[in-house]
Amino acid sequence: MQTRYCEIISILTIAYVITSCSSTIFFNSHTHPKSSATSQFVEIGLASYYSDSFAGKRTASGNIYNPNEMTAAHPSLPFGSKIKVTNLDNKREILVIVNDRGPFVSGRIIDLSKSAAKALDFVEKGVIKVKIELIE
């Protein structure tokens, strides 16, 4: 009986050590981490902005979407993340807060609020190429 008890304890200990020491890093097809000591998150791709029809609706974080706030939807960055978004055509930069999930259109990496789109000067175009960098 004691031998069986020792075997079970040994197996549980090994299982605990293996699972507690492992780490998993997930990258989606749009993720391109910048090579540096700080492993700063950087993506380059297409950005669009929310339609006015979403104003007043709840975002994935539970916030109410307000087109006048500088917010964004990203598929994987944590809610509350601050992101610098650069319009690669005119080099304008803004800071936005992630408060939603999306975009849900293939090939796009971020959806921005309408005020963010205005600040980057792409309301007329609708979609632009951007660089996004995680600030915090």
Residue pLDDT, tens place only, 125-135 = 999 999 999 99
Give the number of domains in the chain: 1
Q: How far apart are the C-alpha atoms of 63 and 56, rounded to whole Å?
A: 9
Residue 42: helix, strand or coil by DSSP? Answer: strand
Q: What is the pLDDT of residue 5?
A: 56
Residue pLDDT, tens place only, 43-53 = 999 999 998 88
pLDDT band at 3 (very low <50, low <70, confident <90, very high): low
Q: How far apart are the C-alpha atoms of 121 and 107, rounded to whole Å?
A: 21
Residue 60 belongs to domain spanning: 42-134
Q: Which helix (H) or strand (E) holds 45?
A: strand 42-49
Specify the CATH number for the domain of residue 110: 2.40.40.10
On whether the CB atoms of residues 13 and 102 are closer than 8 A, the answer is: no
Q: How far apart are the C-alpha atoms of 73 and 103, rounded to whole Å?
A: 6
